[in-house]
Amino acid sequence: MRNFPSVTRRGLLAGSAATVAAATLPAIGPAPQARAAASPAQPAAAAAAQPADGFASVPALGLSGTTGGAGGPVVTVTDAETFLDYCDRDEPYVIQVSGTLRITSKQGVRSNKTILGLGTDAEITGGGLDMYRRQNVIIRNLRFTDAEDDSISIQQSSHHIWIDHCTFSTGADGLIDIVRGADYVTVSWNHFRDHSKTMLIGHSDANGSQDRGRLRVSFHHNFFDGTAQRHPRVRFGEPVHVYNNYYRNNTLYGVASTEDAGVLVEGNYFEKVAHPIYSGYDESGPGRVIERDNVYVNCGKPETLGTVIEPRVFYAYTLDAPASLPVTVPAGAGAGRI
């Protein structure tokens, strides 16, 4: 249930805190290869113009990739009311967030939006963002704290979503949920900390009819920093591509493939993770999972099973050397790093 305040466009134009830039951004095309972390000093416009990669870059379902609000007006918001009004508009927008915005519950974001934090301290706290039957959304360079539910929810056949260079902590439920037929999603260069149930793909064991053939997600260059579980936990999705992430001190497990999901775990660095990879978990049946070229330091034995569709069928990518990830990922992941 989305809960938007009553805000009129006339009121915004007459006296809101939003500033509309006199320029628009160029269109963004898909980019198949993984990128290095961007410079912290990079201007916001240049950051907004960077292309998505992984599954978010794949031409499908009527889109050429994920471009967000490119081509629409650029606005800067400093209060929650104005921010939520722009999120609820039908037109494309690049919404730049300045400072801390306090929201409640899960608030909807319509299609064709780029939400970009400015500087190093842009934050959404108290609530989360919900993509419900939406497409073509980019969320970058934001801190998400203390959400009452999920920090980000991608659901009900939403597709082409890119979540990049954000920091997530201390939510009440999942930090990111990708469920109910969502598809073509990339989660990259994020920092997850101070939380248990980190990321879920596929919300229940009973939802196979909606989820099979969908839930295609790429996870790369994320820092799972002492979080307990679900990095991610997957039901039904295939392929789910988990590559070049850094796992450190994850108390329950790293990756869990369940309910016949197909997960490729490659080129990651696991450090002090008792159960780096599971096939099946809790009451969920086993999933297929392949591991290759990972580094395990003070870890248990990974579980593998079956075969998985290769992500290269969908997009090209280049792996970083796994041994480099304990340096490069903490240095580049999270908000304030683009």
Nearest 5°: phi and psi at 256? -125, 120
Catalytic residue among 134, 216, 230, 248: 230
CB burial string 222-231: b at 16+ within 10 A, e below: bbbbebebbb
Tell me the C-alpha distance between 239 and 218, whole Å. 9
Nearest one of 33, 31, 124, 45 to 319, comparing CA atoms: 33
First to last CA, the chain: 32
Is 337 marked active-site? no
Sign of the alpha-carbon torsion through 103, 104, 110, 114:
positive
Burial letters 253-273, b for 16+ CB under 10 A, else e: bbbbbbbbbbbbbbbbbbbeb
Of the candidates 94, 100, 102, the one whose C-alpha atom is nearest the C-alpha of residue 76 is 94
CA–CA–CA angle 3, 131, 186 (5° rounding): 150
Quick one: which of 191, 160, 50 has its CA closest to 116? 50
Residue 165 near residue 334 (C-beta atoms within 8 A)? yes
Separation of alpha carbons 165 and 167, rounded Å: 7
Catalytic residues: 230
